[in-house]
Amino acid sequence: MELEGVVAVVTGAASGIGRALARALALDAGAVVVAADIDADGAEATVAGIAAEAPEGATPGLAAGIDVSDEAAVVALIERVEQSLGPIELWCGNAGISRMGGVERPNEEWNQVWDVNLMAHVIACRHLVPRWVERGSGHLLVTASAAGLLTGLGTASYAVTKHAAVALAEWIAITHGDDGVRVSCLCPQGVRTPMTESDALLGVAQVEALGMIEPEEVAAETLEALREDRFLILPHPEVATYEQRRAGDRQRWLRGMQRMQRDLLDS
């Protein structure tokens, strides 16, 4: 994918991977970026930071405060962007949330995680994919997680919804690949973001034990993958090995994960 000049929407752009991705797309690739986040002030700050560093004459982007699980708000954003900046060629569904605990957590909490981590992608695709099919091109980036290929300790709803996000990305790629719709699925492991700042959570201890990287490293790898039209983006390449081991001997992999959980709980 040629990124220079494309109109790109990045959700969850107020912090972490989303902010780094918005900055990299605008400042390194020359895209016209729309930074969207439920934290409207944070989205504005991301755009202001980009504008301060952008070369003179660069097309300014937009900031939008949006709940990505609100379908009417997503449709309104798509219409606003396409009317003011032009056709959306890249949608980076990066917004995500995590809640600790397992099946004992209330339905309300499960539904909240489900709506943000999966249904937000469904909603965006519902309204973008038909436009992309009609135009013959468009690119969807789904930020999932290594938890979507493997699992996440201590957080059932996050692991389950990230698996669902990976499955949706695969389905869109298969179903609409011949229509010109390209899909990439970003599955980082441990990234230093607000989500991983707590030192009291089992899932955070897991990714810290496996190695943390900076969001800017994730953004750089993502840009390279988008240019190559690569489906699976693994900023931690070892995740591919873990996934192969999981598929090759599921029983052994489960025992290994149980052992990791015991070790982390005992430490």
Catalytic residues, by residue number, are 158
Q: Which residue has the tokens 């995740």?
A: 239
Q: Which residues contact 263 (CB under 8 A, 6 or more apart)?
A: none
Rounded Cα distance between 113 and 99, Å, is: 7
Dig out the tokens for 76 from the structure. Answer: 């309104």
Rounded Cα distance between 220 and 201, Å, is: 28
Instruction: Name the nearest CA neighbour of 238 among 197, 194, 190, 202.
Output: 190
* Strand-pair partners of 32: 7
Rounded to the nearest 5 degrees, what angle is found at the Cα of 235, between the Cα atoms of 7 and 12? Answer: 45
Cα 81 to Cα 13, 128, 140, 149, distances in angstroms? 16, 12, 16, 33
